[in-house]
Amino acid sequence: MNEAVKLMRAAQKKNEIRVEFTMEYHNVKVPAMLTQVDKFLIIERQDLVYKVAYVEYRNKGLDQEPIDEDEWSQGLEGLDPETVKQLNESKPTNLAQQSAQRIARMKTIRQIIPEFLKDPQTGKRIFTEQEDLDFIQEVICSNMPLMTQLTNKFGELLRAEKEVADKAKNSSKQESSKS
């Protein structure tokens, strides 16, 4: 590996935005983390799921129907206040959007995020084999507290990155005003 790549990797590791947490299942605790790099890949895949689902629901005419407020409220139950705030900022305006968001969010938590969970000590992915991924996906489906935890931790990762970006933007503005 050349020197420039080594320096860049060291800088990335030093400035990495990460959210560490412990997943618990039947009294077994598994340390895990999500990182900023993962966020981009997760959102890219989530967006694809959303677009496919939205077209399907729009073709069924659901874009002409209002959202189901009861379902929207139920989907926010158990989430931390900051995650609820984030979700409410992108609240759908019609039933096609709501349905596509629900599918994208469920698939993200149940199928996509498990692929990116890493061991905080090694930085390596926890579930690398398909059999392991299938198992954790089953566990998440049957364990609402774990599903809620993953939703909250992904929201925390999004907020952490936004906070760093906002600080950098404010710092940049302050430096510009000094000039």
Query: Between the CA of residue 95 and those of 60, 76, 103, 105, 109, what are the distances in Å?
Result: 10, 16, 12, 15, 21
CA 166, distance to chain mean position in Å, is 19
Place of tokens 């002409």: 64
Q: Copy the structure tokens of residue 6.
A: 């080594």
Question: What does DSSP assign to residue 62?
Answer: G
The pTM of this model reads 0.78
| pLDDT computed for residue 94 by the predictor | 96
Give the DSSP letter of residue 109.
I
Question: What interhelical angle do 69-76 and 81-89 show, nearest 10?
Answer: 140
* Predicted pLDDT at 7: 76
pLDDT of residue 48: 96
pLDDT tens for the chain, 179 residues: list them.
788 877 777 766 666 788 999 999 899 999 999 988 788 888 999 999 999 999 999 999 999 999 999 999 999 999 999 989 989 998 999 999 999 999 999 999 999 999 999 999 999 999 999 999 999 999 999 999 999 999 999 999 888 877 766 676 676 566 666 65
pLDDT on residue 109 = 92
